[in-house]
Amino acid sequence: MTRQLVSSGSPYEAITGFSRAVRIGPWISVAGTAPLQDGVTVHYGDVYGQTKQCLTTIVAAITEAGGSIDAIVRTRVMLTDINTWREAARAHGELFGKIRPACTFVGVSRFIDPEWLVEIEADAYVL
C-alpha cells in the first residue's frame, strides 16, 4: 500500500521525525496536534481557542490526505488541566456534534511547550 505523508509545517516535525498525518489505505492517523498557527502558539491561556486551532489543523491534514471531517472516527483530547475539559468539549462538540466520533479526554502533566494547554490526536477511515 502507498504511504502518504502530510506536513502541517510544525517546526517539531523535522526535529522529531514525524508527520502531521499518515495515510495508508483507507486509514489516516493524525499525530498529537498542538495549538500552532504558522509555527507559533496561539490563544495563550485559552483552552477553548487552542482546542479550535488544534481541530482546524487536524481537519486540514485529513482533507489533504483525501479524507473529510465525516471520515473522523476517533479523537483523543489531552489537557494539562483536566478541570478545563468542558471548554475543550465545547469546541469539540461544535465541530463534531453530528459526527460524534469516539473520543477520550485525558489529563497530562505537560507538553513540550508550557504554553500549550491541549493537544489532540485523530483517526479517520476513508471509504
Q: What is the reported pTM?
A: 0.95
For residue 35, the model assigns a pLDDT of 97
Q: pLDDT of 76-121, one tens digit each?
A: 999 999 999 999 999 999 999 999 999 999 999 999 999 999 999 9
- The total of other beta-carbon atoms located within 10 Å of residue 14's CB is 10
| CB contact at 8 A, 41 and 35 | yes
Mean predicted confidence (pLDDT) in 59-73: 97
For residue 12, the model assigns a pLDDT of 86
The domain that contains 82 carries what CATH number? Answer: 3.30.1330.40
For residue 127, the model assigns a pLDDT of 87
Number of domains in the chain: 1
**Largest distance between two CA atoms of the chain:** 42
- Domain ranges, residue 66: 3-125
Residue 8 has pLDDT above 90, yes or no: no
